[in-house]
A = this chain, B = another copy of it.
Amino acid sequence: MIRIVLDCFGGDHSPEANVDGALAALEQFPDLKLILSGDEEVLRKLLQGRNFDASRIEFLHAPQVIGCDERPTDVIRLKRDSSMIKAIRLLRDDDSVAAMVSTGSTGALVAAALTRIGRLQGIIRPAFCPIMPTMNGGLVGVCDSGANVEVTPEHLRQFAIMASLYMENVYNVYKPKVALLNVGKEAEKGDELRQTAYRLLSETAEINFVGNMESRDLLSGKYDVVVADGFSGNVLVKTTEGTALELLGKLKKDIYSKFIYKVGAALMSKMFRDEKEFMNYQNYGGSVLLGTSKVVVKGHGSSKARSVQKCIEQAYKMQLSSLGSKIEEVICRYDHYEL
Contact = CB atoms under 8 A, between A and B. Distances in A.
A240 B215 CA distance: 9
Given A149-B190, A191-B150, A243-B244, A251 B238 contact: no
A275 B251 contact: yes
Contact of A268 (B146, B240, B265, B274): B265
Interface stretch (A9-17, A156-164, A255-263): A255-263
A230 B190 CA distance: 10
A254 B275 CA distance: 9
A232 interface: yes
A45 interface: no
Nearest to A132: B243
Contacts of A194: 149
A235 interface: yes
A183 interface: yes
Contacts of A219: 242-243, 246
A319 interface: no
Given A190-B149, A216-B238, A245-B216, A183 B268 contact: no
Contacts of A191: 149-150, 231
A96 interface: no
A264 interface: yes
Interface in A206-248: 214-220, 230-232, 234-236, 238-248
A interface: dominant SS: helix
Contacts of A181: 235
A124 interface: no
B183 A146 contact: yes
Nearest to A242: B216
A239 B230 contact: no
A67 interface: no
Interface in A183-200: 183, 190-191, 194
A271 interface: yes
A67 to B, nearest CB: 13
Contacts of A249: 135
Nearest to A185: B69
A279 interface: yes
23 contacts: A135-B250, A149-B194, A150-B191, A190-B231, A214-B238, A215-B239, A216-B245, A218-B243, A219-B243, A235-B235, A236-B239, A239-B240, A240-B243, A243-B247, A247-B275, A250-B278, A255-B271, A261-B267, A261-B271, A263-B267, A264-B266, A264-B268, A268-B268
